[in-house]
């Protein structure tokens, strides 16, 4: 290997959240699979959090993907007979968190009889192959599509409580990614109301989402920050019509600059109403 080359497992850890459900009744399995493989090849993410995949299997060994040149290094984590996570096996390992343990946490919080949202069972421990990078929790969230604002707020409060409890008990930072089916302002409001230490990442939506608004986001522990959070194009006009959610890309920073705490302390004196400046629990574009 030439001097200066970087082993694949030493490259930055990147993450994408993507709702890959169809936008309409115009189903095109070939185009959807092509778009997913194109996303993996062009962005080379370490982890992809999927919502509405409906795939029972994904991979180069699957007969259903054989004609799409699916990259060998990507493996899948499956829950309830559906692929929920894709990950670069050369850079990271994923281990599903026991759903029973999550349910125990839910019971401890004395939640209502409606029970735990299905999405809350989708939690994994991510362990980078590069041992200089720490382990972290990764959570896939899919908020209810047809729900009133009170229900959404209740679900988010429960999400933040349970994720925070696991993060503290396991002594691991956490990243939440997914389709929240809510605007960033609604998520920010619940973060403030609950006093959560989680950081929310806003971004400028793509042109095609500028009217309907962004509803796919990342949140993380304050000790684990994300940068370059932005939407990604599916790569073709047909795919963009077929898949109405933009994938959201981010790079994980495990060793944030020491001045982040100083900046956050300074921002604590600000309020949301002071122009475009944001509260310390929010990151995003200006």
pLDDT surpassing 90 at residue 128:
yes
Whose CA is closest to 230, among 213, 216, 212, 244? Answer: 216
Question: Is residue 23's pLDDT more than 80?
Answer: no
Q: What pLDDT, on the 0 to 100 scale, is given for residue 158?
A: 86
pLDDT of residue 275: 33
Across residues 51-80, what is the average pLDDT? Answer: 90
Residue 167 pLDDT: 92
- Reported as a pLDDT band with limits 50, 70 and 90, residue 119 is very low
Decide if pLDDT at 110 tops 80. Answer: no
Whole-model pTM: value is 0.84
pLDDT band, residue 4 (cuts 50/70/90): very low
Q: Which tens digit of pLDDT belongs to each residue from 217-271?
A: 999 998 889 999 999 999 998 898 899 899 999 999 986 554 354 345 434 433 3
Look at residue 25 in the predicted model and tell me its pLDDT. 64
List b or e across 141-173, with b for residues whose CB sees 16 or more CB atoms inside 10 angstroms: bbbeeeeeeeebbbbbbbbbbbbbebbeeeebb
Residue 159 has pLDDT above 70, yes or no: yes
pLDDT band at 32 (very low <50, low <70, confident <90, very high): very high
Q: Is pLDDT larger for residue 176 or for residue 4?
A: 176
Question: 111: pLDDT confidence band, cut at 50, 70 and 90?
Answer: very low
The pLDDT assigned to 78 comes to 86
Q: What is the distance between the alpha carbons of residues 209 and 19, in angstroms, rounded to a whole number?
A: 14
Q: Categorize the per-residue pLDDT at 114 as very low, low, confident or very high, splitting at 50, 70 and 90.
A: very low
Segment 155-175 mean pLDDT? 91
Question: What pLDDT, on the 0 to 100 scale, is given for residue 11?
Answer: 80
Q: Between residues 231 and 148, which one has the greater pLDDT?
A: 231
The most confident of the ranges 38-47, 121-130, 259-268 is: 38-47
pLDDT at 8: 61
Q: Is the pLDDT of residue 81 over 80?
A: no
Tens of pLDDT, residues 183-198: 999 999 999 999 999 9
CA 39, CA 68: separation in Å to the nearest integer?
A: 12
Spatial distance between the Cα atoms of 1 and 97, rounded to a whole number of angstroms: 37
Q: Exposed, middle or buried by CB within 10 Å (0-12, 13-18, 19+), for 273? A: exposed
Strands (E) across 187-224 are located at 199-201, 216-220
The dihedral sign for the CA sequence 242, 237, 185, 248: positive
**Distance of CA 2 to CAs 6, 9, 12, 44, 89, Å?**
9, 16, 19, 22, 24
């Amino acid at each position: 290997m030439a001097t200066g080359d970087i082993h694949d497992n030493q490259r930055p850890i990147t993450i994408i959240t993507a709702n890959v459900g169809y936008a309409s009744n115009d189903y095109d399995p070939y185009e959807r699979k092509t778009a997913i493989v194109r996303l993996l090849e062009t962005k080379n993410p370490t982890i992809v959090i999927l919502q509405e995949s409906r795939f029972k299997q994904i991979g180069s060994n699957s007969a259903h993907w054989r004609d799409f040149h699916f990259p060998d290094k990507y493996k899948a984590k499956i829950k309830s007979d559906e692929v929920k996570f894709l990950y670069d096996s050369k850079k990271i390992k994923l281990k599903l968190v026991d759903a029973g343990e999550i349910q125990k946490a839910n019971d401890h919080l004395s939640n209502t009889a409606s029970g735990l949202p299905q999405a809350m069972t989708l939690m994994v421990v991510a362990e980078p192959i590069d041992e200089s990078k720490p382990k972290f929790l990764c959570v896939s969230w899919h908020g209810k599509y047809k729900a009133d604002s009170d229900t959404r707020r209740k679900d988010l409060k429960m999400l933040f409580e349970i994720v925070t409890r696991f993060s503290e008990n396991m002594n691991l930072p956490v990243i939440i990614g997914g389709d929240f089916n809510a605007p960033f302002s609604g998520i920010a409001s619940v973060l403030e109301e609950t006093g959560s230490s989680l950081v929310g990442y806003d971004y400028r939506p793509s042109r095609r989402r500028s009217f309907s608004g962004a509803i796919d986001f990342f949140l993380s522990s304050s000790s684990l920050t994300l940068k370059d959070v932005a939407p990604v194009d599916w790569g073709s006009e047909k795919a963009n019509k077929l898949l109405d959610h933009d994938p959201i890309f981010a790079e994980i920073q495990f060793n944030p600059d020491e001045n982040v705490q100083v900046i956050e302390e300074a921002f604590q004196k600000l309020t949301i109403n002071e122009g475009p400046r944001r509260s310390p629990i929010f990151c995003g574009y200006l």
